[in-house]
Amino acid sequence: MLGDRRLPLLFASLLAEVAASGCGADDPCTYEQVTAIGANRLAPYIEDGNLTLAECQVLCPMMASPAVPDEPSSTSSSTLTTGDTTSDPTSTTGAVDDDHAPRMSTVLGCAAIPASKSDIRCQYETDCKGGRRPAGLCSAGRSSGDDPIARWFAEVAHLEAASVPAFERLAAELREHDAPAELIAAALRAAVDQARHADLLGAIATRLGGRPSPVELAPVHGRSLVELALENAVEGCVGETWAALLAAHQARVAEDPEVRACMIEVAADEAAHADLAWAIDAWIAPRLTADERTRVLTARSQAARDLRAPPPRDQALERRAGLPAPDLARRLWEALDRELWSAAA
């Protein structure tokens, strides 16, 4: 990473902290986790339609508690997280703080997922101690259709596609302002990432019946260094950082296996893009006047505050796409604001 903020580890730490915050120091908590078993291995266990506790203890990994059980409680289960942390770039392995060290879990039961022949939902008890938009974007990206998940993925795919020219323009402007070569190269890599994200997310939208709309851009003039800093603060240090944290959450808790697989890749890339934004911020700041730095900080703070009260979402989005419920999103925002946005003020 270009900066020293180690955003993937920070995100994993925040997700672990927020997940555990609903429990008392000594209270047992329950959480659920989607675990990939494999169709061939799972088939004999689900022939009768039931999974016994003994079978669940065989199938469910006896692993450390995950980073993101959603609003755990002693009486009800929470949302889901992926079971394979070996390939998840945003897993909690190597967490930055001993306070968030993994704790061992007890299997309470499990159930087959009707939409999947290879995954199960394991229940455990444990001891619990928005992309970079380009200037001049004219298209709203709204998608029609009855499926809220299809609409959401179509709209996000549109924003990812819009981020391609945003990063290409960022690279050109960084070059004009004699920025370090590594920042320019990272911006160009991000444009390639965003094009790939648009394809991945658009494919999910299409599978569900959605259709991403084409990107429309109006001509824009060349920008000064402070104008570049303002956009980077709002769209990168806030927008991309928040999107990266949400993607890390989705990569763990989305019930749809294809969504989880997609968001694992997106989360890793978005964390790198957010880190690039903070590296650009650090490079630009000494080149601005005191008044200009104040403008940038004010814009960044306002953009962060605008995310503080997320709107309610369709519950299908929370379950199948892994988006956090409003209360959890608020707690994630508070943790990120404390550890990053306010700390960088």
Q: What's the rounded Cα separation, in Å, for the pair 19 and 328?
A: 9
Give the residue extent of every domain in the chain.
7-127, 148-341
Q: In what order do the strands lie in the sheet with 105-112?
A: 28-36, 119-127, 105-112
CA of residue 130 relative to chain centroid, distance = 10
> What is the Cα Rg of the chain in Å?
21
Question: Helix or strand or coil: residue 34?
Answer: strand
> Range with the lowest mean pLDDT among 21-25, 101-105, 123-127, 131-135?
101-105
Q: Map 108-138 to HEC letters.
A: EEEEECCCCCCEEEEEEEEECCCCCCCCCEC
- DSSP-derived letter for residue 286 is G
Tens digit of each residue's pLDDT (9 = 90 or more) over 143-152: 655 678 888 8
Mean pLDDT of the chain: 77
Cβ-contact 95, 10 below 8 angstroms: no
- Cα–chain-centroid distance for residue 301? 20
Q: Is 107 left (phi over 0), alpha (psi -120 to 50) or beta?
A: beta
Residue 67 pLDDT level (bands cut at 50, 70, 90):
very low
Distance CA 271, CA 244 (A): 5
Global model pTM greater than 0.75: no
Comparing 84 with 32, which gets the higher pLDDT? 32
**Across 109-123, 192-206, 222-236, least confident range:** 109-123
The per-residue pLDDT for 111 is 86
- Contact between 337 and 238 under an 8 Å Cβ cutoff? The reply is no
Indicate the DSSP class of residue 333: H
Instruction: Please count the CA atoms within 13 angstroms of the CA of 219 that sit on its side-chain side.
Output: 1
How many other CB atoms are there within 10 angstroms of residue 62's CB atom? 10
pLDDT confidence of residue 105 = 53
pLDDT of residue 14: 74
| One-letter amino acid of 43 | A
> Closest by alpha carbon to 106, among 50, 65, 54, 52?
65
Report how far residue 146's alpha carbon sits from residue 81's, in angstroms, rounded to the nearest whole number.
Answer: 27
Alpha-carbon gap, residue 119 to 110, rounded angstroms: 11
* pLDDT tens, residue by residue, 285-342: 999 999 999 999 999 999 999 888 877 777 888 888 888 888 899 999 999 999 899 9
29-to-132, 166, 196, 278 alpha-carbon distances in Å: 37, 44, 38, 36
pLDDT beyond 50 at 128: no
Architecture of domain 148-341: Up-down Bundle (1.20)
7 and 98 Cβ atoms separated by less than 8 Å: no
Position 106, amino acid:
T
- The candidate with the shortest Cα–Cα distance to 254, out of 331, 313, 324, is 324
Residue 119, strand partner residues? 36
Does 224 have pLDDT greater than 70?
yes
Q: Which residues, at least 6 apart from 250, have a Cβ–Cβ distance to it below 8 Å?
A: 259, 260, 263, 267, 321, 322, 323
Q: HSE (CB half, 13 Å, CA atoms) of 216?
A: 6
Lowest model confidence (mean pLDDT) among 55-64, 171-180, 289-298: 55-64
The H-or-E segment that residue 169 falls in is helix 148-176
Whether 259 and 267 have beta carbons less than 8 Å apart is answered as no
